[in-house]
Amino acid sequence: MERIGDDMMFEEILSRLPAKVVCQFKCVCKQWCYELSTPKFVLIHTRRLSNLLQKKLLSLNEHTIVVDDIVSGNLEVDTRKIVTFPYDVQPSRLIIIGSFNGLILLCIRRTDANELVLWNPTIRRFKLISDDYFSRYFGRHDDTGGMYVDEHNDLKVLHINCFAGAVTARVYSRHNDSWRKLSFLKGCLFGSSFYSWSHGIYSGKTIYFTVSNYWIPPGECNIVAFDVICESFSILRFPERIQVNPCQVHFLTISDRLHGIVVRYSDELTAELVKYEHDDWITVFSFTNARIVQQLDPQQRTNIIQDNKWLVTSIWGDTVEVLLCNDSFNYIQHVDSFNGPKGALFLETIVSPF
């Protein structure tokens, strides 16, 4: 043990253990508790976990919050566990905004004021981060956001609110425990009630959102990109071949690359998996056997694989099922992250919301 040294012990051995086991080892002695709580160890531990094919799926049901095991993209049967939210509130009043490094960002919808909570369900720690600004009503398509870590290892929470035709962007700093306002795109109409914002997905130092408007023909689907380095917004356009009305696009990351699930509602229902690469969208797989299934509760199961079938939950509440071949199954099993209003993929980490 003396020849191994502390660096080898903590950074090369203990950093490979599951999060719950690391929490148990914190009880060995004060030194271990300190070493296993340093930002350096937490960062190394989280990076090792992100390379595994084992994830967790948190789902908000009407009266319960459940967690399922996801292994290689597959939903493992008989692994469901019920978890308790730290606040006395019905899960039906919760909305998931984002998932990042084991933390879940949720909004509690209340009749008087809404609250924003950072929650790590693995270590059961949480933090209320909302301020007086959140007294406005939180709507599913009116508010969105995401999370990221800056160059100083400070966890940031991006919150976007659409109210009275205007878009307000704010960012929260875990280190400073405070909010500040950001400049948004001038002259755009994305704050209008005609536009629907997706939840943000983090990929390559950027958080991506889809902003869709299909109320006014011929309809449009835009991408709003937030650069986490310079904290600025830009607009990306989908290729015309994707801009088919009506259609919907849901972002996810596979092998740390931004992908999109495109579901078209034209003469026949079709689904397509596209990848963003070199400033262009490349078709990875096309699925002509897509169909809408009715037996699942809307938004309770977001983008999972069961029995070689991929279940994709749309922003309109439909659950679309596509059959997977061997190639598409092997590709999709490397999914890293996705989230919807009632479900999110997450890692079991020791990252603290404080």
Sheet holding 178-182, edge to edge: 143-149, 155-163, 166-173, 178-182
Domain ranges of the chain: 1-51, 52-346
Q: Which residues, other chains included, contact 248 with Cβ-Cβ below 8 Å and sequence gap of 6+?
A: 212, 221, 262, 263, 314, 315, 316
Q: Which CATH number fits domain 52-346: 2.120.10.30, 1.10.4100.10, 2.60.40.1730, 3.40.50.970?
A: 2.120.10.30
CB 343 within 8 A of CB 38: no
Question: For residue 240, how many other CB atoms are within 10 A of its CB?
Answer: 7
Residue 63 corresponds to which amino acid? Answer: H
Q: Find the Cα–Cα–Cα–Cα dihedral 33, 87, 147, 195, rounded to 10°.
A: 170
For residue 218, what pLDDT is reported? 61
Distance CA 285, CA 328 (A): 7
CB 120 within 8 A of CB 110: no
For residue 285, what pLDDT is reported? 92
At CB < 8 A and 24+ separation, what contacts does 276-280 make?
A: 276/203, 280/239
Give me the count of residues in the chain.
354
Distance CA 313, CA 300 (A): 8
DSSP annotation of 13: I
Closest-CA residue to 39 (of 123, 155, 203) = 155
The H or E element that residue 105 is part of is strand 103-108
CA angle 66, 67, 69 (to 5 degrees): 145
For residue 123, what pLDDT is reported? 95
CB 153 within 8 A of CB 110: no
Sign of CA dihedral 27, 28, 33, 35: negative
Distance CA 207, CA 201 (A): 5
Digit-by-digit pLDDT tens for the chain (354 residues) are 667 788 888 999 999 999 999 999 999 999 999 999 999 999 999 999 988 878 898 988 888 999 989 887 777 878 889 999 998 899 988 989 989 999 999 988 877 778 899 999 999 999 999 888 876 655 555 689 999 999 999 999 999 988 888 899 999 999 999 999 999 998 888 988 888 888 899 998 999 998 888 676 666 788 999 999 999 999 987 766 665 555 677 888 998 899 988 887 767 788 889 999 888 889 999 887 888 776 555 444 555 677 777 877 655 556 788 888 888 888 888 888 877 767 888 999 999 999
> In this structure, what token pair is assigned to residue 214?
């299909």
